[in-house]
């Protein structure tokens, strides 16, 4: 059985002081026995949140990282910098990064490879726009994102990977993919993993759903056979996140 993984993506919210207070509140109510729980926080909040969750089973993740170790890359953050602050996970290729900051499948692949090289678990995001869904190319689009994003990644590494399926049209809109829609795509992701690697790798890799996940719909979504938890946006900043973790 794959253990569920619930990751909160705090996006560009919370000062370090606010973040520490939120982490303290959320950690006390979250049941971490049945699910892996991750707070993916802004870079400025990583140290404060790491201190706040120390001694608990909650892990700290970053929202981005660069694919070089150091150099003239103003404004970027390296894997080594994240590791030194206790980061164990990193979100890579979120749709907001792709749309607003020109990230491509190729740069996502470079970051995934660097994360694995350094021992950080990537949460690799894939997802389609509303236009792509309406034109019935969702599965083809997702398959391409997975194949390019994992180019050069070995099977042993892929088994540790987390893939987050986030339909772009459902992020922050209040619209949620139906459990059947989410299951269809997550199943297709597992199928392409079996093609790239083998059935064992596909079965071991955890696939999340993200897109307006709430305490009210988490149980139905996470109850699908190929959905192993969620990458939670807005609700991760509220007490509702506890309900999602404890679904």
**Which one is catalytic: 76, 134, 166, 203?**
166
206-218 exposure pattern, b = at least 16 Cβ within 10 A, e = fewer: bbbbbbbbbbebb
| pLDDT tens digits for range 168-196 | 988 877 777 899 999 999 999 999 999 99
- Which pLDDT score, from 0 to 100, does residue 175 have? 79
Check residue 105 and report its DSSP letter: H
Dist. CA 241–CA 32, nearest whole Å: 13
- Whether 128 is catalytic: no
Q: Which of 151, 247, 144 is nearest to 192 (CA)?
A: 144
- Which pLDDT score, from 0 to 100, does residue 146 have? 98
- Which pLDDT score, from 0 to 100, does residue 174 have? 79
Segments of the chain with pLDDT less than 50: none
- Which pLDDT score, from 0 to 100, does residue 176 have? 78
Cβ atoms of 56 and 27 closer than 8 Å = yes
- Whether 195 is catalytic: no
Dist. CA 27–CA 215, nearest whole Å: 16
- Which pLDDT score, from 0 to 100, does residue 173 have? 78
Q: Provide the mean pLDDT of the chain.
A: 96
Where do the domains of the chain lie, and which CATH numbers do they carry? 4-245 (3.20.20.70)
**Which one is catalytic: 94, 96, 103, 128?**
94
| pLDDT tens digits for range 75-99 | 999 999 999 999 999 999 999 999 9
Continuous H helices in the chain: 16-29, 46-52, 79-84, 95-101, 105-118, 130-134, 138-149, 155-158, 179-196, 199-204, 218-222, 240-245
- Which pLDDT score, from 0 to 100, does residue 211 have? 87
């Amino acid at each position: 059985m794959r253990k569920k993984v619930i990751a909160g993506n705090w996006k560009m919210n919370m000062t370090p002081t606010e973040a520490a207070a939120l982490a303290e509140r959320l950690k006390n109510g979250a049941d971490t026995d049945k699910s892996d729980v991750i707070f993916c926080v802004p870079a400025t909040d990583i140290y404060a949140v790491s201190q706040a969750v120390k001694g608990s089973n909650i892990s700290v993740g970053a929202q981005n990282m660069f694919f070089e170790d150091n150099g003239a890359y103003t404004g970027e953050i390296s894997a080594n910098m994240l590791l030194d602050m206790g980061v164990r996970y990193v979100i890579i290729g979120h749709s907001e990064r792709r749309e607003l900051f020109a990230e491509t499948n190729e740069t996502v692949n470079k970051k995934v490879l660097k994360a694995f090289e350094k021992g950080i678990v990537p949460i690799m995001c894939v997802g389609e726009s509303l236009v792509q869904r309406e034109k019935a190319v969702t599965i083809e689009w997702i398959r391409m994102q997975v194949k390019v994003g994992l180019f050069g990644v070995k099977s042993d590494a892929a088994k540790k990977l987390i893939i987050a399926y986030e339909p772009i049209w459902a992020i922050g809109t209040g619209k949620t993919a139906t459990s059947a829609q989410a299951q269809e795509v997550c199943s297709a992701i597992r199928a392409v993993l079996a093609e790239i690697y083998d059935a064992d790798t596909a079965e071991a890799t955890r696939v999340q759903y993200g897109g307006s996940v709430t305490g009210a719909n988490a149980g139905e979504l996470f109850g699908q056979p190929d959905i192993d938890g969620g990458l939670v946006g807005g609700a991760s900043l509220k007490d509702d996140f506890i309900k999602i973790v404890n679904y």
